[in-house]
Amino acid sequence: MDNTSFGNNYDHAITIQFFKRWWKLLTLVTIAALAISVVASLLITPRYKSTAILFPTNSNRISKAIMDYHYSLDFMDYGIERDCEYAIQILSSKSMEDSVCSHFNLMEHYGISPDDAHRLFKLHEQYRGNVNVKRTEYLGVEVSVLDVDPEWAANIANYIAEHYDVICHRIHHDRAVDASRIMEGVCSKMASDIKSLEDSMRTDPAHKASTTTLIEYKCEQLADLQTRATQTAVDADNCVSYKHWLDKATPADKKAWPKRSVIVLLGTFGALVMCILVLLLIDARKES
């Protein structure tokens, strides 16, 4: 019967001999890597993080919420998941980025030369690396900004949250203006049809009953359209807030990045592992 044993037959004496032979070099590499990692971590410019949190309102039309008593949704309600996704898309949009970069002159702030052929790409990468928009657990939206200046980080985060209203109003205003223009045309056409029917009723009294019924029906349609046109004008002319503030960003008093302890540990450990691998490769070549 085969009595071959299966188990860990590795001779740990080999490992002990390896470290006895190379301990001086490994110690020297560890100390050098530790010193270099500490210096490197100190040379990295710290960045501060500021965060603004908001709740988007629902996307109900203000006119229907205020003027229509039969409307089931309240204009004062918090937004649902759909409104949260809309808000994230707007806050992360290129329109928002362009506005922030222009308002704060971020190209100069980030040290990007205006003569650089790739200045827009570099600005985009810097902005996207420093600005983060994400959904919170309870359908809020968090805007986080990293910057070397804590005041700038807080100001940019608050500006993004505030400018959200501007972009939302522009979108709703443009849509309402288009709808209002279409409704005006429809109302004018319907008023013209009613006048034509009234003229025909006077010239042809024989069909007065049917014509009167048709006029009454069209007058009801016209009144409904005029009410909707008034509601659309309210949407176009009034600027309301599309968010509820929860937390405004404030300047941080402690850096968020870099984590110097992590940099030192990873740098030292990485150098030590690399040194061990190189020494193992040297020993393997000698044995072969």
Q: Residue-wise pLDDT tens for the chain (288 aa)?
A: 444 444 456 567 777 888 888 888 989 999 999 999 888 877 778 889 999 999 888 655 555 554 454 444 555 555 577 888 989 999 999 999 999 999 999 999 999 998 999 999 999 999 999 999 999 988 889 999 999 999 999 999 999 999 999 998 888 877 777 777 787 788 888 888 888 877 777 777 767 777 788 888 888 888 887 777 777 776 666 667 788 888 999 999 888 877 778 888 888 999 999 998 988 888 778 776
Domain annotation for the chain: domains and CATH numbers: 19-44+260-288 (no CATH), 46-183+240-257 (3.30.1890.10)
pLDDT of residue 111: 92
Q: Does the pTM of the predicted model rise above 0.95? A: no
Exposure string of 228-252, with b = 16+ CB inside 10 Å and e = fewer, is bbebbbbbbeeeeebbeeeeebeeb
- Which residues, listed in sequence order, are joined to residue 257 by a DSSP beta bridge? 47
Return the closest-CA partner of residue 127 out of 104, 106, 154.
106
Query: How far apart (Å, rounded) are the C-alpha atoms in residues 74 and 216?
Result: 34
143: phi then psi, degrees, rounded to nearest 5: -110, 115
Res 142: pLDDT: 96
Quote the pLDDT of residue 261: 82
Can you give the C-alpha Rg of the chain in angstroms?
Answer: 35
Q: Quick one: 279 exposed, middle or buried, by C-beta within 10 A (0-12, 13-18, 19+)?
A: middle
* Three-state DSSP class for residue 136: coil
Phi-psi region of 105 (alpha: psi -120 to 50; beta: other; left: phi over 0): left
pLDDT for 248 equals 94
* Per-residue pLDDT at 120: 93
Q: Which two tokens mark 278?
A: 């190189």
Asked if 235 contacts 180 with a C-beta cutoff of 8 angstroms, the reply is no
